Structure 1
Amino acid sequence: MAHHITPRTRMRLLTAASLVTAGALALAGCSGGSGQEAESGDSLTLWHFEGANSAMGIAWDQAIKTFEEETGATVTFEEKSFEQIRSTSSQVLNSDEAPDIMEYNKGNATAGLLASQGLLSDISSAVDEYGWADKLAPALQTTAKYSEDGVMGSGAWYGIPNYGEFVTVYYNKDMFAAAGLEIPTTYDEFVDVMDAFVAQGVTPLAEAGLEYPLGQLWYQLALSKADRQWVNDYQLYENPVDWQGEAVSYATDTVKEYVDKGYISPDVSGVKAEDAGVSFINGTAPIFVSGSWWYGRFVDEISDFDFGIFPFPDADLSLGSSGNLWVVPENAKNKELAYEFIDITMRPEIQALIGNNGGLPVAAEESDITDPKSLELIQAFNAVNEKDGLSFYPDWPTPTFYDTIVAQLQELVNGTKSPADVQKALGDEYDSYTSDFR
C-alpha cells in the first residue's frame, strides 16, 4: 500500500538528503555568554555569507563595530558560504554549536522549514519591543513570518530583513536615443519599442532560458494580468491557482510570441543569466528585465553608454521580496544580544550604508542617500513598496519548482511543447505539492 507523503515530510526528506551529501562538513561555532541577558564581556557569535565589499557586508561590518562599542560585548564573526549554511543548517542548529544570530535564506523551503522544525526562535516579542514591523512594508513582512507548517505570510515572526530586492527593466539610453525611442509608459508602447528595434535588426531583449531570467519574465507577464489575491493564492496557497486561467495563459502565450517575433533570441534556451547580463553590459541588447542585484555591477562595468531603469509597463505588481533574514537559532546562547544587533542594522545610518553602496535598504531615509545612481534604484524600489507591489518569485511555491519552470519554458521556446501542455506540467507539480497546505 502506498503511503501518502505530505509536503512537510517531503521537505524534511530533501533536507536530510542534503545533509548526507554534505557529509561530515561541520561549521564550528564559538559559544556565547552564559545567559540571555546582555552583559559586558558576553560574546555574540554571528554568521553571514555576504562578501566584505558588498553593500550588506560593508554595512554589517559597521554595525558590528557600533554594537561592540555600545554593548561592551565582542562579536565572533564567521563568514560562511551560502551553500555551507544551506546544507548543514538543520544539523548545526540542532546542536550546541548554533550561532547566536545568522543570515538565512527566506522562503517556505528554507526559513519556513527551520521554523517548523523548532530550530529558530519566535522573535515576535522582540519585534514588538523594538518596533521593527513599523519599518517594514507589508510584502517585506511576508517572508519574515511563518505558520506552524512553515508557510510564509502568517504566524509568528522568525526573522528580520534589512534589505530588499526587486525586478525592473534596464535600458540602454544611448541605443534608445539613436533609435529615436523614449521610455515606454504603457505596454503597447513597450511592444512598439521592441518592434522598432527588430526592424533595425536588433534583438531587443537580453534573455536567458538556461537559468532564472526567462522564468522571471514569464512571471512578470502573469503579474501584469493579476492582482494581490492571485499572488496570495500562488505564493501562500490561499486558494487553488487556475493554470489555464488568464494570468498564466497570457504569460505563456506571450513568451512564445516574443520568440516568434524576434524580441528574444531563438537560441535563448541555451543562454545563461551571466550571458544575458553581459549582452546588456556590452551594448548588444538594449533591454534587460532582471533584478536589482545587477545594478551595482552595471554601474561598475558599463562605461560606453548610459543606462537607466523603468518599471514594467502597465503592471502594478513586480517580482521581488525582502532580502535574506537575520534569524536567531532556538539554541542561541545570547538571544538578547542578537536582538540588539538586529536593531542596530535597522538604524538610519546603517541603512544608508547599504543604500550608498549599491544595496536596497528597507528603512533608509532618501535624504541620506548621496549617490545619485543608488538613489534612482532606491526610489524605484520604494515606489513598488508604496503600492504593495512586491510579489516574490515564480519558483518559490515548491522546493523543485525552479528546475521545472526552466525545463518547461525551454520546451516552450524550442517549440517542443504547446503553451497549454507547459501550463499543465507546471500545474501538476504545483498542485501535487501545495494541495496539502489548503
Structure 2
Amino acid sequence: MKRTRTSVVATAIGTIGALALTACSAGGSTDAAGDGGGGDQTLRLWHFESETSAMGVAWDEAIRVFEEETGATVEFEEKSFEQIRSTASQVLNSDEAPDILEYNKGNATAGLLASQGLLSNLDDAVEEYGWDDQLAPALQTTARYDENGIMGSGSWYGVPNYGEFVEVYYNKDMFAQAGLEIPTTVAEFESVLQAFTDQGVTPLAEAAAEYPLGQLWYQLALTKADRDWVDAYQLYTDDVDWEGEEVTYATETIADWTRKGYISTDATGLKAEDAGVSFIDGSYPIFFSGSWWHNRFTTEISGFEWGTFLFPEAEMSPGSAGNMWVIPERAQNADLAEQFIDVTMRPEIQALIGNNGGVPVAAEPSDITDEKSAELIANFNTLNERDGIAFYPDWPTSTFYDELNAGLQELVNGSKSPAEVQQQLGEQYQSGVDDIVG
C-alpha cells in the first residue's frame, strides 16, 4: 500500500476556524472497477481536515480500507480550506483537477461550480449506492443543485458523510455553583442569563467580528419561524419580510441582551477563536455555536465539566450536512472516487466520526460508545427527526456573511438601532438574491 503526502504550509480560513488539510496529489488513469485490470490505479484526493479531527481519523481509515479492497493508491497533497475555496474554479477546470475533494456546500460554492459545469452529476451513483436512503431530507438539500446552482432541487453534485449544527455549550460547574439547571423555555434561558449577570458574570461568550453572533441572531429568528420562512430565506421560494416577527424579534433581542449585559460590547472586536477560547478557559458559562467545536472542547477543556443542549423552544436550529465529497467533471478516475465515497458511508467509518467528536449521518447508535459524542449525535438526530436543520444565516448570498457581521457589530455597539440594522440587512440580502435569481 503506497501513499504519497506532500506537505504545504497553509492556514485554513473559513467559517469553522483554522483547519489543517490532509489532501492528495497527482495520479493517473485506472480501470473503472479498480481491480487491477490495467492503468495506474491512483486516486487523487483532497480534503482539509486535520489528522486528529473526527473526519481526519475516519477518512484515514477509509483510505486504508479503500486501498486494501481496490488495490489502488491514494495520493495526497496538503491544502487548506482557503486554498481550495479560492482556487477551485481554476483548478477544477484544468488537468490538475483531483479525482475527488471535500468542498464547501451552498449556492455560492458547490452550487456555483455545478452551474459552471465543473462538478460531475452524481445521480446515477446515488441510485447505485443508495446514498439518498442514508441521508435525511434536510441533509440532501445542500447536495442537490438546479441549473442555476441553487440548492434544494435538481441533480446530486455532492455527497456529505457528516453533519453539523449549532447548539448550546454550557459550563456544568458554573451552573451548579449558581444553582441553575438547563432551561427548557426561552424565558428560563433569559432567567439563567440574568442570574449570571447579577453575579457579575457576562454569561454569553460571543464574537461579532466573525460568527457566532450571527448564528445566535438566526436562532432567535428561528424560534418564531416555520419551514416556509426558512425556505423563503434560504431557497428564495418567497419574499422575506425584514420587518416581520422573525427578524424583528431576533434583532431586538440581541440589542436587549446587550443592554442587559448578557452580551459584552467587547464582542464587536472579537473573532470566533476568541469566543471559543474564552469558554475553554472558563471565563464564560455559555457558548452558542457549532458542533465543530465539540472535539476541541473534549480535548482542551480540563478544568470543568461541560455539556450541551439544543436552544430551548426552537423546533429548528442552524445546521446542515457537512462539507461534501465532490467529483470534478475532469476527474480521471470518477469510478474509483465513487467507491471511496461509499467506503466513507459505511457504519464502521461513520462510527469513527461519531466516537471522535464528529456528527455522522449514517452511524448505528449502538456503535457510538463515547458519552459526550452520544449526546452530540442525539441532539443532531432530534433535529433531523423534526426536520429541524435550517442551514446558516449567511448562506443566501456570497456577501451576506460579512454584511451580517457588520450589521450586528453596529447593533451591539449601539451605532444603529434594531430597525436601522434590519433595514440595512434587508437591502443587502435582497440585492444579493437579485444578483442570483434576477
TM-score in terms of structure 2 length = 0.92
What is the correspondence of 1:297-308 to structure 2 with a 5 Å cutoff?
A: 297-308=296-307
Q: Relative to structure 1, is the Cα distance of residues 35 and 92 closer, same or farther in structure 2, using a 3 angstrom cutoff?
A: farther
Counterpart CA distance in 2 for 1:79 and 1:155 is 32
For residues 40-97 of structure 1, the C-alpha deviation after alignment (integer angstroms, 9 at most, x for no partner) is 1522111111111111111111111111111122212223211221121111111122
What is the correspondence of 1:38-57 to structure 2 with a 5 Å cutoff?
A: 38-40=34-36, 42-57=41-56
Question: Which residue number corresponds to residue 30 of structure 1?
Answer: 26
AA matched with 1:30: A
Question: Which residue number corresponds to residue 263 of structure 1?
Answer: 262
Q: Secondary structure at the match of 2:153?
A: coil
Contact 1:64/1:341 (<8 A) preserved = yes
Question: Which residue number corresponds to residue 214 of structure 1?
Answer: 213
What is the correspondence of 1:47-196 to structure 2 with a 5 Å cutoff?
A: 47-196=46-195
Contact 2:204/2:287 (<8 A) preserved = yes
Question: Which residue number corresponds to residue 285 of structure 1?
Answer: 284
For residues 295-348 of structure 1, the C-alpha deviation after alignment (integer angstroms, 9 at most, x for no partner) is 111111211211111110100010111111100011111111111110000000
For residues 95-145 of structure 1, the C-alpha deviation after alignment (integer angstroms, 9 at most, x for no partner) is 122111111111111110110000000001100010000111111111100
Counterpart CA distance in 2 for 1:233 and 1:410 is 25
Q: Secondary structure at the match of 1:205?
A: coil
Counterpart CA distance in 2 for 1:153 and 1:423 is 27
1:373 aligned onto 2:369: no
AA matched with 1:166: F
Question: Which residue number corresponds to residue 363 of structure 2?
Answer: 364
Contact 2:24/2:44 (<8 A) preserved = no
- Once the two structures are TM-superposed, the CA of residue 266 in structure 1 deviates from its matched residue by 2.5
Contact 2:24/2:74 (<8 A) preserved = no
Counterpart CA distance in 2 for 1:85 and 1:109 is 14
1:247 aligned onto 2:243: no
- The runs of at least 4 consecutive aligned structure 1 residues that moved more than 6 Å come to none
Q: Secondary structure at the match of 2:101?
A: strand
Question: Which residue number corresponds to residue 352 of structure 1?
Answer: 351
Contact 1:48/1:78 (<8 A) preserved = no
Q: Secondary structure at the match of 1:112?
A: helix
Q: Relative to structure 1, is the Cα distance of residues 99 and 81 closer, same or farther in structure 2, using a 3 angstrom cutoff?
A: same
For residues 400-431 of structure 1, the C-alpha deviation after alignment (integer angstroms, 9 at most, x for no partner) is 11111111111111111111111111111111
AA matched with 2:26: C
AA matched with 1:156: S
Larger mean CA deviation between 109-118 and 72-81 belongs to 72-81
AA matched with 2:286: I
Counterpart CA distance in 2 for 1:287 and 1:251 is 18
Contact 1:32/1:100 (<8 A) preserved = no
Question: Which residue number corresponds to residue 203 of structure 1?
Answer: 202
Larger mean CA deviation between 341-350 and 69-78 belongs to 69-78
Question: Which residue number corresponds to residue 6 of structure 2?
Answer: none
Q: Relative to structure 1, is the Cα distance of residues 229 and 317 closer, same or farther in structure 2, using a 3 angstrom cutoff?
A: same
AA matched with 2:29: G
Counterpart CA distance in 2 for 1:34 and 1:271 is 49
AA matched with 1:432: S
Counterpart CA distance in 2 for 1:182 and 1:320 is 25
Question: Which residue number corresponds to residue 3 of structure 2?
Answer: none
Counterpart CA distance in 1 for 2:343 and 2:281 is 40
Question: Which residue number corresponds to residue 17 of structure 2?
Answer: none
Contact 1:55/1:358 (<8 A) preserved = yes
Q: Secondary structure at the match of 2:159?
A: coil
Larger mean CA deviation between 266-275 and 316-325 belongs to 266-275
- Once the two structures are TM-superposed, the CA of residue 39 in structure 1 deviates from its matched residue by 3.7
- Once the two structures are TM-superposed, the CA of residue 29 in structure 1 deviates from its matched residue by 4.5
- Once the two structures are TM-superposed, the CA of residue 37 in structure 1 deviates from its matched residue by 4.7
For residues 167-199 of structure 1, the C-alpha deviation after alignment (integer angstroms, 9 at most, x for no partner) is 000111111111111110111111111111111
Counterpart CA distance in 2 for 1:274 and 1:333 is 39
Question: Which residue number corresponds to residue 294 of structure 1?
Answer: 293
- Once the two structures are TM-superposed, the CA of residue 221 in structure 1 deviates from its matched residue by 0.3
Counterpart CA distance in 2 for 1:420 and 1:228 is 24
AA matched with 1:197: F
Counterpart CA distance in 2 for 1:413 and 1:85 is 33
Counterpart CA distance in 1 for 2:354 and 2:421 is 40
TM-score in terms of structure 1 length = 0.92
For residues 383-404 of structure 1, the C-alpha deviation after alignment (integer angstroms, 9 at most, x for no partner) is 1111111111111111111111
1:433 aligned onto 2:437: no
Counterpart CA distance in 2 for 1:45 and 1:266 is 47
AA matched with 1:332: A
Q: Secondary structure at the match of 1:221?
A: helix
Counterpart CA distance in 2 for 1:142 and 1:274 is 29
Counterpart CA distance in 2 for 1:344 and 1:37 is 14
Q: Relative to structure 1, is the Cα distance of residues 160 and 28 closer, same or farther in structure 2, using a 3 angstrom cutoff?
A: closer
Q: Which has the higher contact order (CA 8 A, sep 6+)?
A: 1
- Once the two structures are TM-superposed, the CA of residue 373 in structure 1 deviates from its matched residue by 1.3
AA matched with 2:82: E
Q: Secondary structure at the match of 1:267?
A: helix
AA matched with 1:243: W
Counterpart CA distance in 1 for 2:124 and 2:78 is 28
For residues 247-273 of structure 1, the C-alpha deviation after alignment (integer angstroms, 9 at most, x for no partner) is 000000000000011111132211222
AA matched with 1:341: F
What is the correspondence of 1:274-423 to structure 2 with a 5 Å cutoff?
A: 274-423=273-422
Contact 1:37/1:334 (<8 A) preserved = no
Counterpart CA distance in 1 for 2:33 and 2:227 is 42
Counterpart CA distance in 1 for 2:352 and 2:66 is 16
Contact 1:280/1:288 (<8 A) preserved = yes
